[in-house]
Amino acid sequence: MPMTVADLKAFSLRYRVHAECIGVALFAFVAFVGVGVAAKRRLAPVRADQVSVSMVESELSNFRTAFKPEPVGHDVLMALPDSFAISVPRANRVSLAGDLASRAEQVGLRNVRVNFAPPDSSAAPEHPEFFGAPVSVADYGVAVECGGSFAAVLSFVDQLPSSVALQRITAVRDKAGSHFLVMLAVFESAGSAQHG
């Protein structure tokens, strides 16, 4: 038989101490459940945090275990020569232009003219990601205009330094001969632009 409010009232009047005890117990129940639920809710993210910290610790531990120190003097060997540099400081861009002109002339191209130009509209080259000095594509490009043979141009492209990326080759032939335009993107160390 369902209990009505009147029944509850009668019960509480008849068994006052019992009713007070029940009230206190129910209040404690609600309070404990509330506190428990709050703790349980906080527990989930704390556990997730613990797992992630534990994974970090585990990775660090694995890293320490797997790491093999370099032999003495190996540091000196672990560097590529300057000709393999894959970025050019903005301050050295004129040197880069000179280097490109020199390389073009060495492969037999004539009337070589090297200019700085806005970045080419074609797709930007992929630049490498490094832990040390981040590398990005410079906000300028290099345009190499020249004349000569197509084979010489291809040879020039083959010998481009790693710090530039080929963006475009345009070859036009007219009655005066063949003219070429080679557009290059430049990789520079990130953060060097403001100093340029």
Partner 1 sequence: MSSAKRTFGALVSHDGVCLVEYAVERTGIRVVGEWSESGHSASIGDALERLRGLLSANDVRGGSIALAIDQFGVFHHVMMLPGANDDVLRPVVRREVQRVFGVTDPAFVFTRGGMQERRAPGRADARTAPRQLFVAGASRETVDALASAFPEKRVYVDIATVVPKAIHSLYQASGGGVEPTAVLVCLDGGPHLSFFLDGRLELAIDPPIALEGDRPSPSVIVDQVERGAVYFRQQFRGAEATRLLLATRENEYAELAAAIEQRIGVRVSPLFEGTSSPEAVVAMGAVLEARNEDADALDLYPHPPTIADRAAVLMRGPNLAVSAAVAAAVIAGFWAFSQFTALSTVRRETTALRAAARSSAQAVEPMRQIAERRADFTRQAAFVEQSDAERATLTAALEAIAEEAPVGVHFDSLRVSRSAAGWSGAIDGQTSGATTAQSVRSLETFFNAVRAKPGVSSASLDQFNYPSSGPDTTHAGNQSVGLVFRITFEIARTAAPAAAGTP
- Helix, strand and coil percent figures for the chain, each rounded to 5: 50, 25, 30
Task: List phi, psi (to 5°) of 164.
Answer: -125, 155
Catalog residues that contact partner 1 under the rule CB under 8 A.
11, 15, 18, 21-22, 25-26, 28-29, 32-33, 35-36, 39-40, 42-43, 46-47, 49-50, 53-54, 56-57, 60-61, 63-64, 67, 69-70, 75, 78-80, 84, 86, 120, 122-125, 128-132, 150-151, 154-155, 157-158, 160, 162, 165-173
Quick one: 44 or 194, whose CB is closer to partner 1? 44
Quick one: 107 or 194, whose CB is closer to partner 1? 107
Quick one: 82 or 194, whose CB is closer to partner 1? 82
Helix, coil or strand: residue 28? helix
CB of 160 to partner 1, least distance (A): 7
CB of 130 to partner 1, least distance (A): 5
User: How far is Cα 35 from Cα 31, in angstroms, rounded to an integer?
Assistant: 6
CB of 70 to partner 1, least distance (A): 6
Quick one: 67 or 194, whose CB is closer to partner 1? 67
Quick one: 6 or 75, whose CB is closer to partner 1? 75
b/e for 9-38, b at 16 or more Cβ within 10 A? Answer: eeeeeeeeeeeeeeeeeeeeeeeeeeeeee
What lies within 8 Å, CB to CB, of 177 at 6+ separation is: 147
CB of 159 to partner 1, least distance (A): 9
Residues 172/150, Cβ–Cβ less than 8 Å: no
Helix residue ranges per DSSP H, the chain: 5-14, 16-66, 74-77, 93-106, 150-158
CB of 97 to partner 1, least distance (A): 19
Quick one: 114 or 120, whose CB is closer to partner 1? 120
Helix, coil or strand: residue 92? helix
CB of 173 to partner 1, least distance (A): 6
